[in-house]
A and B are shown apart, each in its own frame.
Chain A
Amino acid sequence: MTTTPPATLEAFLLIGAMLFCLGIYGALTRRNAVAILISIELMLNAANLNLVAFARFVDHSHISGQPFAIFVITVAAAEAAVGLAIVLCVYRNIRHINVDQINLLKW
């Protein structure tokens, strides 16, 4: 006998979509570099949710997506660490981290 899921797959996917789009909005809108990194974390988590949801609903073994999610978490953590280290470097040089004023690659 099958267990009943808490919600449809579409619902979970929609949550993931919302989180992802919120993450996009945040990455585009925030001035602070750390805030942008926060938004990126949000996006990554949205992807994680998708993975786990698909593991629960679509995957035959019902398990494959979860290790994948573990790896995502791992990588996200590492990336957050390095990214924040870079932000610290930037802050040390120019005393602020407003990305709209960091445009050395401008033409």
Chain B
Amino acid sequence: MMSDPAQLAYLIPLLPLLAFVFLVLAGSVKQWVTGDIRLSDHLAHRVSIGAIFISWLLAIAILVDIVGRHGQTYIHSYPWLQLGASGALGSSAGGLQISFGWMVDPLTALMLIVVTTVTLMVQIFSTGYMAGDVRYPRFFAYLSLFGAAMLALVLANSLLELFIAWELVGLTSYLLIGFWFEKPTAKRAAMKAFLVTRIGDVGLFFGMAYLLSLTGTTDFVGLVIGNPETGALPFRSQGWLEAGIVAGPQIMALKGTVGLGLVALLIFAGSVGKSAQFPLHVWLPDAMEGPTPVSALIHAATMVAAGVYLVARMYPIFDLGGPLTALGATFRPLGLVGLTGAITAVMAAYFAFTQFDIKRVLAYSTISQLGYMMIGLGCGGVYAGVHDPSLGFTSGMFHLMTHAFFKGLLFLGSGAIIYACHHEQDMRRMGGLWKLTPITFWCYLTATLALAGLIPGGLFSKDSILEAAFGYNKLIFAAGVLGAFMTAGYMARQLVMVFAGEYSGGHEHGEHEHGDDGHLPHDPPLTMTVPLIILAVLAVVSGFVGIPGSMKIAGFLKYHALSHPEPAEHAMNWTVTSLGYGAALLGMATGLGSYSLQTRAFAFQTARPTALDWFLYQLSYQKGWFDEIYRATLVRGLFLVSDAAAWMDRWIVDGIVNGLGWLTRQLAFLSALVDRFIVDGLVNLVAVVSRGLGKGFRTVQSGQVQTYLLVATLGAILLIWAVAAGQIGAPTP
């Protein structure tokens, strides 16, 4: 078994799914057996953590195994629907081929490690954070379901399968954001998340459908997985293949076409929604209504990374898709990806500067970092005119991994802080925690430095992105550098506001349910601090796979660009590195210097702000007024359409139906008239006539004998006449 753990890869999503089913159904079974429907909290988290732990071990086994195989891909698929031309994989347009199964390649293995590790840490953390919650077992059930869905997404071997898991991930996100559904803000946030990502999902669906119509299949093998040298179909169709991420024959055939570019664009719409890129980023800050472990898992490390994963998985399509023209500008799909990422990175960082909620800052930071990943991915590909087409691909995914660790750590750390400060989330009421919660402080500091790009965790991944951008487009590079400066800046601000100075919170909270040593915060229990420490270690260590100059990860996660000369050995670009590092240092210094370490207040507060100051501040604080604009335009427009449709339904459709009903009633009335007067009339007429005739004729029966006699006499007269008239004149015999 250990020789080929990829064969067991299906267990990785299956175990958490079974945990979910168990947790959902066990309550009913328990009720049937003991009469009490409540599951014990211990049972819930043990089942859930047990499942994800085993999945984690399997993921490690798969990673170790696949590193040793040097770029092979494992495929296990069952053909499900095959119409049209011969059954060869991905053959001829006009046919249709859909299969189900799983696929393990280096990209998948990386994602498996990331998802299982962070999920495991989050679940362990949740046992402390969510302790005592009324719906504790349900929380773990949802976490398990999410884990199952996300792992299935990563293991999918076709775009269709991925889409199914994608939708399920969106569903669990909705369930978890709205977990505390007693809060109306939570309900609204969950709905907003679902609907906004839905907009993107529609694009993804149409992209998938269009791809299916162009190529007849959505299976990865043959489209985006193939022989690394030639791009041809692998010799075998099952098991370990000599295959990597490369453009397959059908994609090569569609190279440069507008159709393929449109497919890429539509698929990217899904990524824009799921990964909260501009302009569909508005749901992520509101998603902070959910419990903090949820924010850590879904909205920092995994679900939002699914969009990045999708672009990476479909990279050949993005790379070879033809340029599209809109509004006078022509752009390649990857170029659009990079541009979107750049805009998002800078914009979100700008908004992060003025937020007071600890989680909101992190939320905008996540949006910004996701933008960085898109920058990375976008600055690659055959047609980017870069030296190494695979660098962008590698750097984006590298940053995804390190980001998952340090952003997950940051969120869990914020969860620990919130827990310690008795569920206080406003940073203005924190402070002094560097000595009150030391473990949390050091982990948080580590993560912050990694995020800023100052220590090896995030340093190398961010550096590789900047390098890719530098080689492609100087403007995007400049945006990246600016973003690095801003990232360090707002994180410094957060550090000061949360940890420096003296603790300023807890005054208005009287007695507390924690009931321990007064109101001062302290480090949370081990169940919460141990995951922090583990993640901190991982955040740093994971960076070392990509030390510039000998990027091992570049050999592992590789996009094979056909018809491009093999790039030369990768050497470190000191210009880029120094500019990036310098910007980060500068940002950190500026941030630390702008806030007094004693009072935690802004050091340069002007007495009389100018109109420009006020506008710039409001632009950040009001988050660019995106929500307001969307509400005024799209939401109102949607409600107008909905009202119009309702009007049409009530007056026209119902009118027609009611009209038909009314018409039928009138016809029935007429029919009743006909029946009553004509049909019944005829029948009654017969009766009336009979009665009349009877009435008339019965008068003959007068009962008067002499009348009868008179009539008889008259009859006799007639008889005489009749008989005699013939006889008179006849000769007598």
Contacts and interface: CB of A to CB of B under 8 A. Distances in A.
A–B touching in complex (CB under 8 Å): yes
Interface of A: 24, 27-29, 36, 99-100, 102-107
Contact of A107 (B698, B706, B709, B713): B698
B703 A27 contact: no
B713 A28 contact: yes
B703 A103 contact: yes
Given A36-B706, A102-B703, A104-B703, 9 more contacts: A27-B706, A27-B709, A28-B706, A99-B704, A99-B705, A99-B706, A106-B703, A107-B699, A107-B702
Contacts of B703: 102-107
A99 B702 CA distance: 12
B710 interface: yes
Contacts of B705: 99, 102
Interface string B243-273: 0000000000000000000000000000000
A24 B713 contact: yes
Interface in B687-705: 698-699, 701-705
B702 A103 contact: yes
Interface in B400-456: none
Contacts of A100: 704, 706
Interface of B: 698-699, 701-706, 709-710, 713
Contacts of A106: 701-704
Contact of A28 (B698, B701, B702, B709): B709
A49 B701 CA distance: 35
A13 to B, nearest CB: 13
A43 to B, nearest CB: 11
Closest 7 CB pairs of A and B: A103-B703, A106-B703, A107-B698, A107-B701, A105-B703, A28-B706, A28-B710
Q: Which of B698, B699, B703, B710 has the most CB of A within 10 A?
A: B703
Contacts of A103: 702-704
Contact of A105 (B699, B701, B709): B701
B389 to A, nearest CB: 120
A99 B705 CA distance: 7
B729 to A, nearest CB: 17
A76 B705 CA distance: 20
A37 to B, nearest CB: 12
Contacts of A29: 706
B164 to A, nearest CB: 93
A98 to B, nearest CB: 11
Nearest to B705: A99
Contacts of B713: 24, 28
Nearest to A24: B713
B426 to A, nearest CB: 110
A27 B704 CA distance: 12
Contacts of A27: 706, 709
A105 B710 CA distance: 17
A5 B703 CA distance: 47
Contacts of A28: 706, 709-710, 713
Contacts of B710: 28
Nearest to B707: A28
Nearest to A27: B709
A103 to B, nearest CB: 3
A83 to B, nearest CB: 12
A26 to B, nearest CB: 11
Contacts of A105: 701, 703
Q: Which of A24, A36, A107 has the most CB of B within 10 A?
A: A107
A107 B704 CA distance: 11
Contacts of A36: 706
Contacts of A107: 698-699, 701-703
Contacts of B709: 27-28
Q: Which of B699, B701, B705, B713 has the most CB of A within 10 A?
A: B705
A59 to B, nearest CB: 14
25 contacts: A24-B713, A27-B706, A27-B709, A28-B709, A28-B710, A28-B713, A36-B706, A99-B704, A99-B705, A99-B706, A100-B704, A100-B706, A102-B703, A102-B705, A103-B702, A103-B703, A103-B704, A105-B701, A106-B701, A106-B703, A106-B704, A107-B698, A107-B701, A107-B702, A107-B703
Contacts of A102: 703, 705
A28 B702 CA distance: 15
Contacts of B698: 107
A29 B703 CA distance: 16
Nearest to A103: B703
Nearest to B702: A106
Contacts of B701: 105-107
A28 B709 CA distance: 7
A27 to B, nearest CB: 6
B718 to A, nearest CB: 15
B704 to A, nearest CB: 6
Contacts of A99: 704-706
A34 B205 CA distance: 118
A55 B713 CA distance: 27
A105 B703 CA distance: 5
B692 to A, nearest CB: 14
A24 B699 CA distance: 23
Nearest to A58: B732
B575 to A, nearest CB: 133
A28 B706 CA distance: 5
Nearest to B700: A107
A24 B714 CA distance: 11
A106 B705 CA distance: 10
A27 B712 CA distance: 12
A102 B707 CA distance: 12
A64 B100 CA distance: 130
A19 B706 CA distance: 19
A21 to B, nearest CB: 10
A3 to B, nearest CB: 22
A103 B709 CA distance: 14
A64 B699 CA distance: 46
